[in-house]
Structure 1
Amino acid sequence: MKVTTLEDFYKEASLVVPEGINKELGHFNVFKLHELVAAGNKRTTMPYSRRDYYKISLISGRNRAEYADKVIDIEKNALLFATPKIPYHWLPQDDKQHGHFCIFTAEFLTQSKSGVVLDDLPIFRPGGYPIFQLSDKVAEDILHVFNKMFDEIASDYIYKYDLLRNYVLELIHYGQKLQPLTALHPTHNASARVSSLFIELLERQFPIESPHQKLSLRSAKDYADRLSVHVNHLNKVLKQNTGKTTTDIISSRVVQEAKILLKQTDWNISEIAYSLGFDEIAHFSNFFRKHTSFSPLGFRA
C-alpha cells in the first residue's frame, strides 16, 4: 500500500526535504498553494491516498472533496482537516484555486503543554466532520491565523515552535466549533455511545497493508458480538444515529478500501478479495459490482 510520507510530499512539491524530518520533536511547515504551483508543482489535485502526517487546509475555489464515505461540493471557501487514518481526494472544479495549508506530525503537538492526543479530538475521529464550507468572514479569520504562522516560522524567535503549536491548536478548535453539537459529544447517551464505538471498531481494521492481512470483523453480527449487544439493537442505534444500517456502513467502508487496493496496489483480485473477507472471487466481484456498477477489473482499468 502506497502511503504518502513527508519525504514524498516534499519531493512531489519540488521542495528540498528538510534535514532531520523524522526527528522525535516532530515536524511542522506551512505553505501557500499558489507559490507551490508557481514553483513548478502543477498538480493541485490531492490524490485519493493516505498520508503519514496531518494537514489543515484553507482553500478557495470550486472543489469537490471525497473523504471516507462523504462527497462534498465546495462553492467557494473550505477548511479541511486531514488525518493519516482516512484517505481523501480533492478535485478542483475551476482554475481559480488558491489557499494555504500546514502539515504536521502527531509528535509535533505532543510537545505542547496541553499534552493533546490528536486522535482523541472530535475533528480527527473516524466518522466525524472534517470539511467545512466557510463564509468570507470566517475564511478571513482563519487566513489571519495562517498569516501568523508564516510570520512566526520566518522569525528567529527561540520559542517560535511553541507559538506555532498554539496556532495549530487554534485552527483545530476553530474547526471543532464549526462541527454539529452531536459530533463534539458523541457519547451523550447509551445509543450514541454504541454507535461511536462501532465506528471506532470498524476503522481500527483499516488500512489493509498486506495481502496476508484479513478483516476479522465482516458481518453485523461480528460487530454486535464484539460490542456485547444484540445485532438488532446495534442496527437500531446505527439507524437512529447515522440513518444507515449496520450492513450498509460496513459495506460502504469495505467498498472504499477495495477501491484503494484496486487503484494503489498491484495485488491480484484474489488477494484483494481474501484480505477483505471474501472466500470466493465471485462473491467479491458480485459485491463490488452491486455497490459501484463496475467489476473489480473494470474499476482498476
Structure 2
Amino acid sequence: MKHSIIPRLELEAFAADGYKTSVLNVEHYPLSSKHFVIENRNNYPVKDYISPHRRKFYKIFHMTAGTGILTIGLNRYEMGPDEIAFLHPDELMSWQTTSEETGGHFCLIHPDYFGQDADHVLQLFRQYPYFIPDRAVVQLTAGQSAAINGYFEIMLKEERGNSDDKKQAILLQLQMLLLESRRAGKSKLQSAVSEGYGYIYRFLSLLESSFQVQEHNSIAKLKTAAEFADELHVHPNYLNALVRNHTGKTLREHIQDRLLHEAKSLLVQTDWGINQISDGLGFSGQAAFTSFFRKKANLSPSEFRKATV
C-alpha cells in the first residue's frame, strides 16, 4: 500500500505553527470512581486534559458561564453558556478552558449504575441521539438552560443526601434532562480539528486498542513508538515531537503509562494471579512485570492489590 504524503517540516517551523495551545494532560478516570458522580463546576477545578477511550462512563456537562474548547473524536466545539454536551464512553475527548469564569455542572454515569431496575433508562442513554461526536453539543434557550441547571441541582442535593430513594430521584432528573435537551434540538456546529491533534487522536486510539485484555488467554498487542508511527505513516521523530509538545510526555512515556494503568485495572478489577496478569500484558515473566510495576508505582503488584482492597 502506498503511504500518504506526510509534511516534513523543520521542528522550529512546526512548533511556531502548531503549538498554540497549552499542554493537555492525558488522564484516566480513577479506578475507584463511584458509578455515579456529580459536581458543580464552580467548586471543581476544570483542567485542560485529554481523556482516552474506555472511560466506561457516560458524561454530561452543562455550562452556565465561561468558555472552552471541547474536542470529541475529530469534532471540535467552542462552547459557552447555555450549552450542554453529551460524551459517550467510547469516544476520546479533550477539554481546554478559554476563560477564567466557570459555571454549571457535570455528571459521570457508569452503565452499572442503572442496574436491572432501571434498564429502561440505560436504553435511553444508548439510543439518545446526542451521544455521538458530530451532534454532541446542544444549544439551549435561557429557559431550557435554567431548567437543566435545576435538574442538576436536585441530583447534586440527592446524591449528597441519605434518602433511601435517592437513586430513583436522580434517575427521574436524568430523564427530564434528556427530554429537555432533546426538545431543544439545536445541535451546535462543529469544526475540524487541527492536523496535529488528528495525529494525537489516532495515536491514542491505537494505543487504547492495544489493551483489550479481558480474559486469561488475552494478550495485549504492545507496539513500540516506531511501530505506532509506522502505522500512522509518519516519521517517529515527527510524531514524538508532536505528542510531547501537546501532552508533555513522549510516545514511550505514554505507552508505559497506559501499560501501568492496565496493570492496575487488572489488579483491582479481577482476581487474576500476578503471573496471569503478567502474561496478559506481554511480559517475559512475572519478575519482569514486578520490576516494571515497582519502578513505576513504587510498590509491587501484590502490595498495590492489598492496598486497594
Secondary structure of 2:158 counterpart:
helix
Q: Which residue of 2 aligns with 1:30?
A: 38
Same amino acid, percent of matched pairs: 14
Supply the AA of the counterpart residue of 1:45.
D
Q: 1:252 to 1:131 in 2, by over 3 A?
A: farther
| In structure 2, distance between residues paired with 1:144 and 1:262 | 40
Deviation at 1:285, TM superposition (A): 1.2
- Is 2:59 aligned against 1:55? yes
Supply the AA of the counterpart residue of 1:133.
Q
Q: 1:177 to 1:298 in 2, by over 3 A?
A: same
Q: How does 1:1-301 map to 2 (within 5 A)?
A: 4-7=28-31, 21=34, 27-37=35-45, 43-50=46-53, 51-59=55-63, 60-110=65-115, 111-112=117-118, 114=120, 116-117=122-123, 118-125=125-132, 127-179=133-185, 255=199, 257-260=201-204, 268-273=224-229, 276=231, 284-285=233-234, 295-301=238-244
Q: Is the 8 A contact 2:75 2:134 kept in 1?
A: no
| In structure 2, distance between residues paired with 1:179 and 1:29 | 26
Q: Is the 8 A contact 1:57 1:79 kept in 2?
A: yes
TM-score after normalising by structure 2: 0.53
Deviation at 1:174, TM superposition (A): 2.7
Deviation at 1:297, TM superposition (A): 2.9
Q: Matched residue pairs, number?
A: 198
* Structure 1 range deviating more: 102-111 or 56-65: 102-111
Deviation at 1:256, TM superposition (A): 6.0
Q: 1:262 to 1:108 in 2, by over 3 A?
A: closer
Q: 1:268 to 1:169 in 2, by over 3 A?
A: same
Deviation at 1:92, TM superposition (A): 1.0
| In structure 2, distance between residues paired with 1:34 and 1:5 | 20
Q: Is the 8 A contact 2:229 2:239 kept in 1?
A: no
Q: Is the 8 A contact 1:123 1:172 kept in 2?
A: no
Supply the AA of the counterpart residue of 1:116.
L
Deviation at 1:130, TM superposition (A): 1.1
Secondary structure of 1:34 counterpart:
coil
Deviation at 1:146, TM superposition (A): 0.8
Supply the AA of the counterpart residue of 1:145.
Y
Deviation at 1:141, TM superposition (A): 1.2
Deviation at 1:81, TM superposition (A): 1.1
Deviation at 1:300, TM superposition (A): 2.2
Supply the AA of the counterpart residue of 2:107.
C
| In structure 2, distance between residues paired with 1:140 and 1:180 | 16
Secondary structure of 2:138 counterpart:
strand
Unpaired segments of 5 or more residues in structure 2?
1-25, 211-221, 245-309
| In structure 2, distance between residues paired with 1:137 and 1:180 | 14
| In structure 1, distance between residues paired with 2:145 and 2:168 | 24
Q: In the TM superposition, what whole-angstrom CA distance separates every residue of 1:85-129 from its partner, at most 9, and x where no partner exists?
A: 00111111110012211111112234316253333332224x441
Higher relative contact order (CA 8 A, sep 6+): 2
| In structure 2, distance between residues paired with 1:180 and 1:256 | 30
TM-score after normalising by structure 1: 0.55
- CA-based RMSD of the aligned residues comes to 3.7
Deviation at 1:255, TM superposition (A): 4.3
Q: Is the 8 A contact 1:34 1:99 kept in 2?
A: yes
